[in-house]
Amino acid sequence: LVGTSELKVLHPPVLCGAGGFGCVAMGRLRGAPVAIKAPRTRAGRNSAKLIASLCNEIRLLRRVRHAHIVAFHGAAIDPESGELAMIFELIEGRGMADFVHQVHAVPRWAKRQVPLTKVLHDISSALMYLHLMEPTIVHGDVKCSNIKVDL
């Protein structure tokens, strides 16, 4: 666990994204930029089940080390609210959808700096790494909005 004194959420909060799980905000861990993923509180959902699910995800993430998978730095618990947040490397790249649209906007005769096939290879490499782990990790939510292209 990361001490809350080492972790700062930017004020006003700068959101990197949000989804069914919760939201991701920019912050700083020991002065370095990070992404802080906080779960959405759902009415009617058992908090014990949520904590168990988050602990399982943390247990898996702490073993994942791949060049094309965002690095997991740890987790923090807010001592006042008891909320658990996960801390990841901050990727400054653009979303996959923006990258694909930009690639298709370049005329065919123009030389492309980074071929789309390389980016797809990198994504496939990351997924293969997860699937070959013991136990196997299945991402379960691969979509453009969950992929950042940082070139």
- Could you tell me which residues are beta bridge partners of residue 8? 28
Whether residue 29 contacts residue 14, with contact meaning beta carbons closer than 8 Å, is answered with no
150 classed as catalytic = no
Return the structure tokens found at 7. Answer: 């972790």
The residue to which tokens 């994204």 are assigned: 17
SS3 145: helix
SS3 98: helix
Q: Which of 78, 98, 141, 150 is catalytic?
A: 141
- Please give the angle made by the CA atoms of 123, 66 and 36, to the nearest 5 degrees: 90
Pairing of strands 148-149, 94-95: antiparallel
- Could you tell me which residues are beta bridge partners of residue 38? 23
Catalytic residue list: 141
